[in-house]
Structure 1
Amino acid sequence: MIINTGMRTDIPAFYSEWFMNRIREGYVLVRNPYRPDWITRYELDPEVVDCLAFCTKNPAPMLKHLNELKRFHQYWFVTITPYGKDIEPNVPSKEQVMQDFITLSSSVGVNCIGWRYDPIFVDSTYTMERHISDFKKMCNTLSGCTQVCVISFIDLYEKVKRNFPQARTVTPQERIAIGKAFAEIGQLYGITIKACAEGNDLEQYGVDCNGCMTKETFEAAIGSYLDIPKKKSQRAECSCVLGTDIGAYDTCGHLCKYCYANYNRENVRRNIQLHDPSSSFLVGTLREGEVIHQAEQVSWINGQLSLF
């Protein structure tokens, strides 16, 4: 199976000590975000965890732990955008994150790391022209350290509308202009552009629209074929492998305006106060009378000869 760590929060950036404690103890407890009384225990054992999947805007706190994590296969997505503190108030400078990306790539390998440039929004500051110019500069820095850059355009979820009311939908014309330019730039630097849950309209311009966290992505990282249960791999927009996420909503301290995972700052502040690095939960502890459900975990690695 695949353990995801970054669909609800940024564990490497804010909870690396907790995560490594979980790795050392060999298990983690996770509350279902839609049914908090349902608690699942996942074993963090390479015998059943085929890959640890990370999504982060700041991998720096985890770099010192990479040797300890080597007994696990890993895949890393690192988000690097051109936005400043007006949009991403607590994200380190892009220059620093890119240097950390390069360090991470040299440790895990180019097949085990991808760059995310998303979500893309357009306004008077972050114009189409600026996106294209900044993207080219970033490609020049990151070339050779990854083979993939994932893009997506801002989705105006209710949380996003509340926290970022000035955001607007990117028009079809803007989507095509940016997607086409990015694909052309990526080709120059050996970086394939993939679209995340964006349909197929950019495919004709050279963008890979088959998903970003795909079966093939993880197979290349692991070096083995995977037999992934269908219920674990499909969603309407793409063929991403969603796996199992051990994070919690309303815990990401980046406080990006476009974030879909935080309801508001007060919730984040409260949950950060409830965080204990020694707890089995990311937030809080086991309450009296609560029942822990053991997850059914098996390796998905296919024993047939690998071509990777």
Structure 2
Amino acid sequence: MQIISASRRTDIPAFYGEWFMNRIREGYFIFKNPYNAKQMSKVSLRPEDVTAIVFWTKNPGPFLKYLDELKERGYRFYFQYTVNGYGPEMEPKLPSLEKRIETFKKLSEKIGKEKVIWRYDPVIFSNVHDSDFHREKFSYILNELKDFTTRVVISFVDEYRKATINFKKLKEEGIEIYQPPEVIIKSFAYFMAQKAKKVGLEIQSCAENIAYLPAAGIMPGKCIDADYIEKIFSLNLPERLHLKDKSQRQECGCVVSKDVGIYDTCLHGCKYCYAGSYEAGKKNYEKHDPTSPLLIGKYEVEESQLTLF
């Protein structure tokens, strides 16, 4: 058995739900190595081979219609749902904040609040989004979601290569990203921790090595978390499913999983994205076939050439 990640690299629930459900019904998907197009893997999605599915999304609305079928087929799953409030200048293709909060509540009511984790990330400081901005947005969203989740995950922006390119474009548009003094970050970390604690939410960090976060009450988290899966689904998983995923950053605590996604396929167009550009996403989406075992493109490889998982 293995954990399926859907997906760090793109928003499956928002844009590729039909494809994912076709893969669920057929019991497998084909993954193409992004660094070697000739290397493909066939990955089982049969219920007996899937420990749990972790969905990552900023807009699961289009996917809600499939949740009953997933449950009926015997799949266990939970959501990492990002809700922040940057607005169209940073997240031009997302529904309004109010709509995303409404969808969060619907999802929570449908599958249970312990299965919908709120992500307030990445935390970005700019000349438009200062500490006061984040305190206001975090407080507002927390107040709206406090009865619909049990955990909030935070992280501070990392300047991946693709994100750095986007930051330069933002600067041309009048939004300048900056690294605030440590005292500002530290103060905001304590603020978030105290706010979350007051309403009974657990707060964790994602892939951070900031020494003072635990002192503030924000412990290192695991977004793909075998212990959490055991807890919410009453399972006892083998030790191998508790091992850290060595393919992720050193600071990342996630356990091993198989990701179904591909970079440069998301259509949200977020200006801080590390997983690709909106322009590349549009081009790749034109190659998307919901009936193909591949997320992008046609499948024309003999099964004997595949690596099986």
The AA in structure 1 aligned to 2:26 is: E
**What is the percent sequence identity of the aligned residues?**
37
1:13 corresponds to which residue?
14
The AA in structure 2 aligned to 1:106 is: E
1:252 corresponds to which residue?
266
Please give the residue correspondences for 1:294-305 in structure 2 after superposition, counting only pairs within 5 Å.
294-295=308-309
The AA in structure 2 aligned to 1:76 is: F
User: Which deviates more, 242-251 or 106-115?
Assistant: 106-115
Question: Cα deviations across residues 108-145 of structure 1 (Å, max 9, x unaligned)?
Answer: 21221100010011112211111111111111111121
User: C-alpha displacement at 1:283, in angstroms?
Assistant: 0.1
> Contact 1:232/1:243 (CA < 8 Å) preserved in 2?
no
The answer to whether residue 88 in structure 2 is matched with residue 75 in structure 1 is no
The AA in structure 2 aligned to 1:186 is: A
1:293 corresponds to which residue?
307
The answer to whether residue 182 in structure 2 is matched with residue 179 in structure 1 is no
User: C-alpha displacement at 1:23, in angstroms?
Assistant: 1.0
Q: Which of 253, 263, 269 is the aligned partner of 1:239?
A: 253
CA distance in 2, matches of 1:67, 1:181: 38
> Contact 1:154/1:169 (CA < 8 Å) preserved in 2?
no
> Contact 1:117/1:149 (CA < 8 Å) preserved in 2?
yes
> Secondary structure in 2 aligned to 1:36?
coil
* Aligned length in residues: 294
Please give the residue correspondences for 1:12-161 in structure 2 after superposition, counting only pairs within 5 Å.
12-70=13-71, 71-161=74-164
CA distance in 2, matches of 1:288, 1:62: 30
278 and 134 in structure 1: CA distance in 2 versus 1, 3 angstrom threshold: same
170 and 52 in structure 1: CA distance in 2 versus 1, 3 angstrom threshold: farther
CA distance in 2, matches of 1:246, 1:207: 30
39 and 78 in structure 1: CA distance in 2 versus 1, 3 angstrom threshold: same
The answer to whether residue 236 in structure 2 is matched with residue 225 in structure 1 is yes
CA distance in 2, matches of 1:29, 1:151: 32
1:305 corresponds to which residue?
none
2:278 corresponds to which residue?
265
> Secondary structure in 2 aligned to 1:212?
coil
User: C-alpha displacement at 1:170, in angstroms?
Assistant: 4.3
1:169 corresponds to which residue?
179
Please give the residue correspondences for 1:188-203 in structure 2 after superposition, counting only pairs within 5 Å.
188-199=198-209, 200-203=211-214
User: Which deviates more, 218-227 or 132-141?
Assistant: 218-227
User: C-alpha displacement at 1:201, in angstroms?
Assistant: 2.1
The answer to whether residue 218 in structure 2 is matched with residue 207 in structure 1 is yes
> Contact 2:266/2:278 (CA < 8 Å) preserved in 1?
no
Stretches of structure 1 lacking an aligned partner (at least 5 in a row): 296-308
TM-score (norm 1): 0.90
Q: Which has the higher helix share?
A: 2
> Contact 1:56/1:78 (CA < 8 Å) preserved in 2?
yes
> Contact 2:80/2:119 (CA < 8 Å) preserved in 1?
yes
User: C-alpha displacement at 1:63, in angstroms?
Assistant: 0.6
Question: Cα deviations across residues 139-182 of structure 1 (Å, max 9, x unaligned)?
Answer: 11111211111100010111111112232334422221111100
User: C-alpha displacement at 1:287, in angstroms?
Assistant: 3.4
RMSD of aligned C-alpha atoms?
1.7
User: C-alpha displacement at 1:97, in angstroms?
Assistant: 1.0
The AA in structure 2 aligned to 1:223 is: S
> Contact 1:13/1:56 (CA < 8 Å) preserved in 2?
yes
Which contiguous aligned blocks of 4+ residues in structure 1 show a shift greater than 4 angstroms? none
> Contact 1:122/1:128 (CA < 8 Å) preserved in 2?
yes
> Contact 1:114/1:150 (CA < 8 Å) preserved in 2?
yes
CA distance in 2, matches of 1:118, 1:293: 35
Q: Which of 265, 280, 296 is the aligned partner of 2:293?
A: 280
User: C-alpha displacement at 1:7, in angstroms?
Assistant: 0.6
